[in-house]
Chain A
Amino acid sequence: MRLRKVLIANRGEIALRIVRACADEDVRSVVATSEVDWDSLPARLADERVCIGPAAAAKSYLSVGSVMSAAIATGCDAIHPGYGFLSERPELPEACDRLGLRFVGPSAEAIRRGGDKVIAREIARAAGVPVGGDAQALEDSSAAATRAQELGYPLLIKAAAGGGGRGMVLVRDPDELRSSFDRASGEAQAAFGDGRVYLERYLDDARHVEVQILADAHGGVVALGDRDCSCQRRYQKVVEEAPAASVGDETHARLAESARSLARALDYVGAGTVEFLVDRSTQDIVFLEMNTRVQVEHPVTEAVTGVDIVREQLRIAAGERLSIGQEAVSIDGHAIECRLNAEDPARGFAPDPGTVQEWILPQGDGIRVDTHIQVGSRIPPHYDSLLAKLIVHGPDRASAIERTERALQHLRVGGIITNAELLRSIVRHPDFRADRINTRWLEQELT
């Protein structure tokens, strides 16, 4: 059944990205906004807009009742959650099921199982995906000590309900494990209301590589190649690339097959990402986690595959088949995404809200900018600091880097402080150009 009208329960560049996909699919779009976002670009460019609450996200973008009410009042037949906010909360698809709306995303069950690190690891291991460590929560610190001895140090203690680097402690020996275990569990309990923790192998010199998955309700599961997101700071990705150029053909194939196996084991329907670490010397792969939503960095995959991931999400939600089969997926050239944030690297990356006075975007062949910003935009302090994503596509990695460097030179932002200069330093750096970085490189080398 075709979708007629979609409520977009998000803000910023991703809300506008979904508005575009709706227009391309001939579906009407309604953007749900908070009071401060009423005049934002996505709200103005959507077919309709509806204000669902005050600036504080808890009373607008994070309120299931407000989002559902807006969808019903405006006659929508589906809700797209974007990323962040309610996108990985099973309560939203549950409410959609109850009230007869479609959720553009996986089932509540798949979000629950995929989002719980311990359950996801157990499913991954059963599906033959290497998990590097345990797939079970630990009873107490003595059980942890016994397991750690078997697995070997160094290890990470991670929260079952954690994510994005939160609730994670590195331990290098039994003493550190003993002194950290109860604290890690306590912090997990405080932060997530769930004190379960598990042990994961710690790779000192690894790359973050993830696989984009699309799965429809007819059994079609496609891996759209991989992305390298090793350039990160405090587990926040800064520069992403597709494909992961540093891994060999055999590893590409192993990653893709592992991700497809996991999606099948979860009965997954929708777009998702399976994250791995790849050891730089051995090329061993280790499953990290599954993200059950569209990712910020999805455009690099779109650039090299020619597949519109958000349009595919809408097709999947309408019960249609994927427009592409696995054998038809091919990778064309190389793409790089830079995240432009309103933050000041000179002051410990402190966020810098304010009003944008100057906003000049790069242009040219192979250059795409996804943004909700315009001159005069007031960056509210209530949400994250992402201003724009610069996505550059070229025939190979070297030319994509050249183009990215030129594009960053042409980018002019005034009135607020951004990380633009850091992005320039990254793409100019010999280590980045030679592709010899790991997940800790950015913090050690440039920040």
Chain B
Amino acid sequence: MTVDIAYLRKLIEAFEQSDWDEIHLRGEDFEIRLSTSADEPAAASAPAGAAAPAATPVATPAPAGNGSAPAAQAAPVNAPAATGAAGEPVVSPSVGIFWRAPSPTSPPFVDVGDEVTEESTLCIVEVMKLMTQVGAGMSGRVVDILVANGESVEKGQPLFTIQPT
């Protein structure tokens, strides 16, 4: 279906009279973006279907006794090539949504450069409304945060890099 021009007019009118800041609708054969800012709206987050394969599960151990794929095992999958920051990874305990703060209005648990202890909470991974706090598990300094707030993560995906002390 296509969008009726009368409906589109009504939508724009409703948008102008509202406090909605950005609207992005996609139908079978139309796409509508309305934004209060003059700039191009930020790119829509990728569909989770596309995001998942992109997230390389680097911390997944290679299958035991799999002698037929030495090349794959030899690949330096654990190197944080994209960031260059050296240190130990903290990985996601499960598939879920990565949250850097306990609530949308709270400050993040940690930032790059912060000192953490074994007991420090680094983030929350939310899965089906269940919130799991992820701890540092080591003392050190946060040198990199590898996932953006609110993004989907896979089990074993590195979330933080910590330089142990």
Query: A-side interface residues toward B, CB under 8 Å?
Result: 35-36, 38, 48-56, 58, 64-66, 68-70, 72-75, 99, 342-343, 350-351, 353-354, 378, 380-385
Contact = CB atoms under 8 A, between A and B. Distances in A.
B14 A50 contact: no
Nearest to A348: B130
B84 interface: no
11 contacts: A35-B45, A38-B47, A48-B27, A65-B19, A70-B25, A73-B27, A350-B94, A354-B95, A381-B96, A381-B128, A384-B129
Interface in B38-69: 44-45, 47-49
B27 to A, nearest CB: 5
Interface residues of B, number: 39
A50 B27 contact: yes
Contacts of A55: 45, 47-48, 152
Contacts, number: 111
A58 B103 CA distance: 12
Contact of B32 (A54, A73, A99, A350): A73
Contacts of A56: 45, 97, 150
Among B1, B34, B44, B48, the one with the most A-chain Cβ atoms within 10 Å of its Cβ is B48
Given A72-B10, A73-B11, A52 B130 contact: no
Nearest to B21: A65
Chain A's interface: helix, strand, loop or mixed, by majority?
A: mixed
Nearest to B103: A190
A383 B97 CA distance: 10
A89 B100 CA distance: 27
A384 B127 CA distance: 8
Nearest to A36: B48
A379 to B, nearest CB: 8
Among B20, B23, B32, B94, the one with the most A-chain Cβ atoms within 10 Å of its Cβ is B23
Given A65-B18, A69-B20, A75-B7, A36 B47 contact: yes
A334 B14 CA distance: 48
Contact of A74 (B18, B27, B126, B152): B27
B4 interface: yes
A122 B64 CA distance: 64
A75 B34 CA distance: 17
B54 to A, nearest CB: 14
Interface in B126-144: 126-130
B27 A51 contact: yes
A51 B25 contact: yes
B81 to A, nearest CB: 26
Given A48-B28, A380-B48, A353 B128 contact: yes
A69 B48 CA distance: 23
B128 A383 contact: yes
